[in-house]
Structure 1
């Protein structure tokens, strides 16, 4: 909007459009903002009728003041207008991390007032119109600037009354000059209005909020119960793990003592801890597994020697990384043990992981 083109001129306290009065200074109108004389431009074929200041000045209030007063006059004349739509979502989070949501939606509806006050001061705040209906009040702000007035909104939200804004700053001079278009924009167009504060909406949100809070309380109680069950189960599981760990440690301690006892009973012979020597030991335990243990055994992940299948730990080394795995050997493996060891990495890995064996295997070397 070009604010030097003023859509309304004032004469004897009444607002007129330019096409409603004589051309030029004969219009007898003054600016609604600064009260200085206006020229009516209403004879042009290409220019929309409008007013201009008769003398150049710095007034930019004529446009806004005229449109605002004309809008308020329409509201006071009809005593009704379309209320904005309201769409809000109430959200309540549960302690279990669930988000409860409920949408509140009020459709645009026409309301009729018992009376309308124009340009009222409430707590130092200028309200362009106040609609009275029974014991309720609705405050109207006419917006004629794209600028967001945060402080005014904050002040309006602090009042215990519903308030709404009618935004007319996007209207063209053609729309303002057309009485029907202007009336629709002021009174009925859903696109030009929004709530600043809706008391009805807040009451609905409070009711919905209470219901969601009640549901959240039930879910929280259930969650606490389930959480307690989980904690009890976790404690029981941890106790079982601790008991199992203690049993395993006791068994390992007994196993180590048995290893040392068995090692003390073996004749003192220097161990061949070379890769070749370790390969012979691994092959010997594999041969014994086939011949004496039904081709079943457990293999140490550290030294790779085989122990009887019922063993819980490796009989030969005390490596901290030792774990045992069940293995089943092919009976005909005895014919290829030598070749297998020559092309296997296990003997070298065995020497690195368990350089010294606690107990020497009681086997025939291959």
Structure 2
């Protein structure tokens, strides 16, 4: 398996590739992990030149340890890296459940360091490489293992310094053993890099959060005003209904009072429930005349302003109260006719009809 192959051997204190030394045990190389002898396999054309242990040993550190050290050494030597893009999405919601979001991003760029140091301890944590770029420190982590070291990431973020991770855990042996391909992957390819922490990114995210909070506050205020307006409208409608009902009640009371004050030859008192019954009967007569206009006149009619009764189209006077003026041409639909009685029972116009014309013509 490829994981058992070792890309670099230790020769006189330095790491070398198999292609750079003699074949077999003559290479004189040791395993960077367990320090036992290695065999260089560089004579064939089928396989990528590599090292393997001369004797079977339980060593897993040779591959990762050598790759990690070579990557760090190349970063320090070149003092160059291409950073990846930064992108983070922040979101929030309004009081009505609406979602708002902002995308914070900036493009990656090529950086050349004025200084590069390897494995310097900073507040108890040791980044792999530290670059000095434009007066600022950039920490670089080289990830060789498949598993992320979350604890180290947390401690690095706590330093408050921009930190970049290069993930070369998936590089194949051909790329690792080719100096040009390895340098391209390690330094120039942004696709295997990501920001563990970015001071610029944090600043942009905080600014975007403040802007988003302002937008959400403005939208919440708009929502509040809309809800208050709707509540006020509902209250106004309820008050209008109350006043209309109160008006009907007061009108009934006034009719009773008028009956009490009539001369002796007139009835002295009229029961309010009886008066209300007459008003409802008037509503039924008006509704019946509307339904007749739909059934007999195709919905066309002339409605009297005085008694609200409906007459045949082009009538010159009201056949129900005798009014010669105030007849208006109207059109009723069958849907309206079906609901006319319910509408009229809630309308104060029926009260006025009865008040103006207490008795219609037979």
Counterpart among 262, 280, 296 of residue 289 in structure 2: 296
- The number of residues matched between the two structures is 279
Measured in 2, the distance between the counterparts of 1:168 and 1:93 equals 39
1:186 match: 186
Inter-partner Cα distance in structure 1 for 2:200 and 2:211: 17
Preserved contact between residue 296 and residue 326 of structure 1 (Cα < 8 Å): no
Displacement after TM superposition at 1:296 (Å): 2.6
Q: 1-side partners of 2:287 and 2:66: how far apart?
A: 108
Higher mean displacement: 160-169 or 235-244: 235-244
Separation in 2 of the partners of 1:132 and 1:145?
Answer: 26
| TM-score w.r.t. length of structure 2 | 0.66
Matches of 1:116 and 1:180 in 2, distance apart? 21
Residue 56 of structure 2 is matched in structure 1 by 56
Determine if contact 1:309/1:326 at 8 Å carries over to the other structure: no
- Residue 304 (structure 1) aligns with: none
Shift in Å, 1:261 = 9.8
Write the mapping of 1:148-297 to structure 2, written as runs, cut at 5 A. Answer: 148-244=148-244, 257-258=273-274, 296=289
CA contact (8 A) 2:115 2:131 kept: yes
Per-residue deviation, 1:31: 1.4
Give the whole-Å Cα distance in 1 for the aligned partners of 2:277 and 2:339: 25
CA 1:159–1:248 in structure 2 vs 1: closer, same or farther (change >3 Å)?
Answer: farther
Structure 1 residues 38 and 239, CA gap change in structure 2 (3 angstroms): same
CA shift in 2, pair 1:106/1:251, >3 Å: same
Contact 2:252 2:276 in 1 (8 A): no
Contact between 2:165 and 2:195, CA under 8 Å: does it hold in 1? Answer: yes
Q: For residue 16 of structure 1, give the secondary structure of its aligned residue in structure 2.
A: strand
Deviations 1:188-214 (A, max 9, x none): 112111111111111111222223333
Cα deviation code 1:126-164 (max 9, x no counterpart): 422121225422222212233343333333333311112
Report the alpha carbon displacement of residue 77 of structure 1 after superposing the two structures with TM.
0.7
What is aligned with 2:10?
A: 10
User: How much has 1:90 moved relative to structure 2?
Assistant: 3.0
Q: Which runs of 5+ in 1 are unaligned?
A: 263-284, 300-307, 311-323, 328-366
C-alpha displacement at 1:93, in angstroms? 3.2
**Residues 325, 187 of structure 1: CA spacing in aligned structure 2 closer, same or farther, 3 A cutoff?**
closer
Q: Could you report, residue by residue, the CA deviation over 1:2-45 in whole angstroms, capped at 9, with x for unpaired residues?
A: 22110001123211000101112221221112222211111123
When residues 326 and 28 of structure 1 are mapped into structure 2, their CA distance, relative to the original with a 3 A threshold, is same
CA distance 1:4–1:251, change in 2 (3 Å): farther
